[in-house]
């Protein structure tokens, strides 16, 4: 049992509360997963590409390996900082993302790459991460988040969600459910040269969708196909640099509720997360129907 949440601000100047909104939404469904928490946040464009690595083990050695790998890839460091269990670096890099991403993942545990995306995830609650990483102060256009109850893997920062689309820029996913044709779909993607860093089905969904987008599909088209291509029970939110979307399987065993007005769209596993955005106000919420999908973008 895990919890997901996402928010999309319809107006560019309305995202000052992005981080705080997601912290509050995840706190509302934290009872669904107390092991770890994560956020995928889309901020105003960075100076270059932002890479976030987990360096909780042998931190000094990991940073040295990262800098060496960046130099080998011809990437110029624009800024760097250590934050919690992570190392964050912004770089100037003009080459292809996939080979660059794969090379960097061999150097250390890469959490995300993006010109707007930053994934922050760690062991602990939403408020724990807010204290360590300052999530609540982050402004941006949209984002998704996840609270995790570990059932199949260890409680470690790298096992927390969201997952980025390994080898792609600015695509992230949060997922509640299980994909039963995971290995079949993964082998097909690996046969085309894609690499995976975990055995988590959320990573698979992210790469599957990012591949569709890279082939020229719209996010809506990719989500429509995912309902047929993915076997199992699932409710997931996907985010790109331009927007956000959801998909639900046809059994609809995993909960999802939605609220939309002229200012924003908010989606979560439980209505209590939506209520955190509008304390004391009655909300007219809807539950997406089985086998449906939808997107929002500017």
Strands 257-260 and 109-114, by their bridges, are: unpaired
Sign of the dihedral defined by the CA atoms of residues 56, 62, 66, 67, in that order: positive
User: How far, CA to CA in Å, does 264 sit from each of 98, 246, 269?
Assistant: 33, 15, 17
Give me the percent of the chain exceeding a pLDDT of 90. 81
What does the pLDDT average to over 83-92? 96
What does the pLDDT average to over 238-263? 94
Give the largest Cα separation in the chain, rounded: 56
Q: How confident is the model at residue 264 (pLDDT cuts 50, 70, 90)?
A: very high
What does the pLDDT average to over 251-261? 92
Distance of alpha carbon 72 from its chain centroid, rounded? 28
CATH code of domain 3-44+116-297: 3.60.20.10
The answer to whether 146 and 37 are in contact (CB under 8 A) is yes
pTM of the model: 0.95
Mean pLDDT of the chain: 92
pLDDT at 112 over 80: yes
Strand locations in 218-292, DSSP E? 232-239, 243-248, 257-260, 264-268
* Segment 35-72, tens digit of pLDDT: 889 999 999 878 899 999 999 778 999 999 999 999 99
Strand order in the sheet with 172-179: 163-164, 172-179, 232-239, 243-248, 293-297
Angle between helices 182-191 and 201-214 (to 10 degrees): 40
pLDDT at 144 over 80: yes
Active-site residues, by number, are 2
Q: How far apart are CA 292 and CA 252, in angstroms?
A: 9
User: How far, CA to CA in Å, does 246 sit from each of 82, 122, 165, 249, 266?
Assistant: 33, 24, 16, 10, 11
Is residue 217 classed exposed, middle or buried when 0-12, 13-18 and 19+ CB atoms within 10 A define those classes? middle
What does the pLDDT average to over 151-167? 80
């Amino acid at each position: 049992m895990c919890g997901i949440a996402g928010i999309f601000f319809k107006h560019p100047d309305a995202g000052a509360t992005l981080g705080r909104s997601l912290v509050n939404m995840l706190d509302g469904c934290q009872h669904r997963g107390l092991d770890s928490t994560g956020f995928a946040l889309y901020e105003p464009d960075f100076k270059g590409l932002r890479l976030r690595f987990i360096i909780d083990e042998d931190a000094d050695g990991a940073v040295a390996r990262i800098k060496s790998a960046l130099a080998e890839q011809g990437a110029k460091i624009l800024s760097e900082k250590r934050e919690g269990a992570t190392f964050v670096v912004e770089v100037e890099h003009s080459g292809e993302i996939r080979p660059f991403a794969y090379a960097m993942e061999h150097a250390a545990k890469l959490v995300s790459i993006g010109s707007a995306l930053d994934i922050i995830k760690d062991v602990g609650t939403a408020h724990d991460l807010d204290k360590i990483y300052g999530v609540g102060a982050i402004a941006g256009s949209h984002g998704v988040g996840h609270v995790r109850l570990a059932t199949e893997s260890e409680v470690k920062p790298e096992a927390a969600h969201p997952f980025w689309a390994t080898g792609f820029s600015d695509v992230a996913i949060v997922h509640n459910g299980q994909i039963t044709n995971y290995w079949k779909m993964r082998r097909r993607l690996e046969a085309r040269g894609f690499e995976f860093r975990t055995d988590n089905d959320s990573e698979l969904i992210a790469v599957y969708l990012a591949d569709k987008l890279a082939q020229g599909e719209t996010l809506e088209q990719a989500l429509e196909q995912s309902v047929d291509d993915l076997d199992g029970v699932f409710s997931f939110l996907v985010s790109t640099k331009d927007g956000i979307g959801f998909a639900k399987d046809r059994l609809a065993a995993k909960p999802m509720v939605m609220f939309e007005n002229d200012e924003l769209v908010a989606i979560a596993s439980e209505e209590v997360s939506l209520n955190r955005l509008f304390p004391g106000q009655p909300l007219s919420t809807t539950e997406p129907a089985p086998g449906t999908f939808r997107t929002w973008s500017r």
